[in-house]
Amino acid sequence: MKKWRTYLGLLLPLLVVAGIVLWPVVTKNVSSRESAFTILKAVALASSLNILLGYTGYVSFGHIVFYGFGGYVGLYFVNEQGWSIWAGILAGGIASGLLAFLLGKAILRLRGAYFALATIGINEAMKAFINNFDLFGGPIGMTLNFSVYKAYGGAAKALGMSFYIMAGLTFAALIISHFVRTSKFGLGLQAIRENEDAAEVMGVVAPDAKTWAYVLSAIIPGMVGVLFFFKNGNVEPAVAFPLNSSIELLVMVMLGGQGTVLGPILGAFAYQGMRGYLVTSNFFKNIQLSVSGVLLLLIVLFIPAGAVGWLRQRIPALRRVLA
């Protein structure tokens, strides 16, 4: 009985994501597959960021660095060393996890605004480094040899396959998010979020717990980066480390509800939907990012717990379902 209840919170997130995955499968429409890919990518990245932001309470403004760095490393192995996409994705995830581990040891001792500032600095420093790193093509970046797609039955098939890999990565992000939230490790993270000093007094080894949370939140973005650049066929520094995407991820997590499994999924879905409308509207297309800014401001002022958090506070009966 108890076991069954633990998994209840996972039900709704899985259904929502399954719906997004099935949408293009049912319509057999390439453009809806592209939209679904973008939404799934946002869901996977936002859910990963949520492990650090929502569960642990550390605001990372530069989380996209893991997406860019992992993506670069993976694409390098796929393109230059002839590795398969699977090995490349694995390499990207490991590279980002390792980067997070090393960075975590250095900057997770900072708290609040200082940590947030350090994460921006890291993203910009990494962009500058890659810009000057010849192995990864410097400022020009890397372009995938089209022969790479041959192994997967040509470009069209490779793109189709990428969609299903993206779906797999998104499910993986959800399951990680759920298990972190319902585990003892996650309880320790939430204790750190609420009061790090008190958590340490109770025996939570905060430096280690925070580092592992950072690593866990970095792995899936690294893998998504590899997949996205593989699908796009190229990568360059400005595309790999966009600071505004980092901030959009924050908006998604805050909008849906930080610290819940479902929140970042709904937030990513709603935000991508809104973004799709804004960039095609004549009036908003140039000021699309300022709309995100205003949205973030409104969330922080009026519903700091996000949509899911707001519902949980109002209707306690929903707490088991809206985990």
- Piece of the chain touching other proteins by CB under 8 A; list 128-136, 145-153, 199-207, 262-270: 199-207
Using CB under 8 A as the criterion, what x/- string covers residues 32-61 for binding other proteins?
Answer: ------------------------------
**Whole-number Å distance between alpha carbons of 169 and 141:** 25
| Binding status of residue 197 toward other proteins by CB under 8 A | yes
**Whole-number Å distance between alpha carbons of 26 and 81:** 37
No. of H helices and E strands in the chain? 15, 2
Residues 200-219 that bind other proteins (CB under 8 A): 200-206
Specify the residue, 33 or 193, whose C-beta has the smaller distance to other proteins. 193
CB contact set of 73 (below 8 Å; sequence gap of 6+) = 91, 92, 95, 96, 222, 226
Residues 241-260 that bind other proteins (CB under 8 A): 259
Query: CA torsion, points 265, 122, 61, 71, in degrees to nearest 10?
Result: -20
Q: In whole angstroms, how far apart are CA 187 and each of 97, 116, 118, 179, 184?
A: 22, 23, 26, 11, 5
- Piece of the chain touching other proteins by CB under 8 A; list 27-35, 97-105, 198-206, 282-290: 198-206
Using CB under 8 A as the criterion, what x/- string covers residues 158-187 for binding other proteins?
Answer: -------------------------xx--x
Query: What are the backbone angles phi and psi of residue 203, rounded to the nearest 5°?
Result: 105, 5
| Binding status of residue 188 toward other proteins by CB under 8 A | yes
Number of residues that bind other proteins (CB under 8 A): 22
Interacting residue ranges for other proteins, rule: CB under 8 A: 2, 183-184, 187-188, 190-191, 193-195, 197-206, 259, 316
